[in-house]
Structure 1
């Protein structure tokens, strides 16, 4: 099954007094990379989120946004640094005795010592883990469905391009046997124009040398083999993006070699067409998981 690396999924869940929304988006990336953004008070759930994501996505850059809203009014707890206040009260008492100044310490004087007081938001009594996981699963399934649907379109396009490539390869292969014959005819014509006779053995030797240098049988064989592997890979139910990328590079390498050896206009034109098709394939492959 061919999967795209791009997609979006959104899931929601309600539990007790909590409402959770999870949004996931994924784009092309050479490896798997996951970034999770969620409220700090639920940060311990991040690793669980990443583990679930990795079970759905093997390759691609993934951004996860987790929103947790509570229907319960915000509650805070006041943390008091009593040691600091004790030190402040003792200082006032010591200063009064030292300098003979009568000074009564009032509560509002203590409240001015802001460093001694910290207000912290109380964590919800109900754990948000279950609600987050439920919304996450929904978002992951929607994301996966989108990636599968887009992957089918990519697969159809790749199969079409591969068939076009195969046709060009077969066309070029049919032309190859004529290359040596045409070279022999041109060489023989040239010799007749500039000499009185033809050394048949020398002519055959020159043609044999040319035929050996221009022989692209091995390149065509490997190219067709890569095309078959490419088609088989599209049928596998696993991440295939890297394999397709490698096969595309290898096909491009063989086409380049054929192009460098080609001395026929029609073969050269077919090579240009093959390169154009391979470029389209390469662009599509970059988006496959």
Structure 2
């Protein structure tokens, strides 16, 4: 079954001290064109993230956004109060309050908020290497978002499959019309040949052998039987390929080129106005197919 190349998938995890959301969007592209925006703590995981996406998303212009909200790295560290500096700030604030006659009720709180009064303890190597969100959690969320994106693509693909097969069926109907009018076309050509033969056979310069060779060449040039058979075979192959389980967008594009080649040859060889009109309609349906295949994975 076909899959669309466009889609959206998201996954979210809310922890006690953080919130992590992963969004993946995909648009049309001939290959995998990946753009990633990560929080700083995941910068060294970008290569692994790219590997996961490349393994699970074959084609498309893919945008990944990881949004993290939480404390500074989400990790608590020990802190201490610089007693000497606190006393210095408190004394200065007290003298300033006396000078202007202000109340002293908030002096301690203000002194605590002064620069370098509260000092963070030194971080251990283990703390420095610790992620605010475990990598396993990030990886699980990433796979969930990719799964949701692929589900979206599959749903869109069902609608595209129905639409494309409508165009394929229309080409089959038009080809059946060509097949119906082909005997009429051939009889008209034969009648024209008979008329011309009667006119030129009486000529003294008439060469029977050369005339027969030219007629054989002419009739073969106008014969579209092989093109009709090849076209119906291409349509069958196209239909079988549509329902294969793996992504088939590129293969379907190649088959559609072969379908177009046979339609064009029928049009150039038919030499008949009615069949030419049917060929034009087949080309219109084929263009609709090609347009939709641009969005197929």
| TM-score, reference length from structure 1 | 0.75
Pair 1:233 & 2:241 matched:
yes
Q: Distance in 1 between matches of 2:11 and 2:261?
A: 45
1:105 — aligned with what?
A: none
User: SS at 2:184's partner residue?
Assistant: helix
Q: Does 1:264 align with 2:285?
A: no
For structure 1, which runs of at least 5 residues remain unmatched after alignment? 78-121
Q: CA RMSD in A?
A: 2.8
Quick check: 2:12–2:141 contact (8 Å CA) kept in 1? yes
2:187 corresponds to 1:181: yes
Alpha-carbon distance in structure 2 between the residues aligned to 1:134 and 1:216: 58
Match of 1:159 in 2: 165
Number of the residue aligned with 1:255:
263
Inter-partner Cα distance in structure 2 for 1:129 and 1:73: 13
Residue pair 2:41, 2:131 contacting (<8 A) in 1 also = no
| 1:107-136 alpha-carbon deviations (Å, 9 max, x no partner) | xxxxxxxxxxxxxxx776544423322332
Where does residue 112 of structure 1 map in the other structure? none
CA deviation map 1:141-178 (0-9, x unaligned): 22111100000000011111111111111221232233
Match of 1:283 in 2: 291
Residue equivalent to 1:89: none
SS in structure 2 at match of 1:58 = coil
- Cα separation, partners in 2 of 1:125 and 1:172, compared to 1, 3 Å: closer
Structure 2: stretches of 5+ with no match in the other structure: 78-127
1:1-289 aligned within 5 A: 1-71=1-71, 126-189=132-195, 207-289=215-297
1:288: how far off? 0.7
Matched length = 244
Distance 1:125 1:64, change over 3 A: closer
- 8 Å contact kept, 2:12–2:22: yes
